[in-house]
Amino acid sequence: AFTQAVFASVGIEIPRRASRQAAAAETLSRGELEYGDLVFFNTSGSGISHCGIYLGNGEFVHASSSRGVVRDLLSHPYYSSRFVQGGRFLN
C-alpha cells in the first residue's frame, strides 16, 4: 500500500498489490531504472511480493515490515538476489 499511497498523492492511481502493479506497469530492466520508477522483488518465493520506489544511484525507498519506511540499496545482497524487474507508470 506504500507505493499506492505515494502515487495517489500525486494523482496517479495504481493497483494495491505489488504483483498487480508489476503487471500494469511498463516493464524495465535494472539498467533502465529512473527516479520514480517502481522496483519489484520476489521475497516470498512465489512471484512478485514486494515493491519500492527507485530514487536513483542504486537506492530505493520501501515499506519494511520490520523497519517501517526505509531507504535501501538495490545492490544489497538480499534485494539484489530477489530483484525481478522495474516498472514505470510515469512518462
pTM score over 0.85: yes
pLDDT digits (tens, 9 = 90+) for 9-66: 999 999 999 999 999 999 999 999 999 999 999 998 889 999 999 999 999 999 988 8
**In Å, how far are 22, 55, 83 from 17, measured between CA atoms?**
9, 20, 16
Query: Which residues lie below 8 Å from residue 79, measured CB to CB, with a gap of 6+?
Result: 41, 60, 72, 73
pLDDT digits (tens, 9 = 90+) for 61-87: 999 888 999 999 999 999 999 999 999
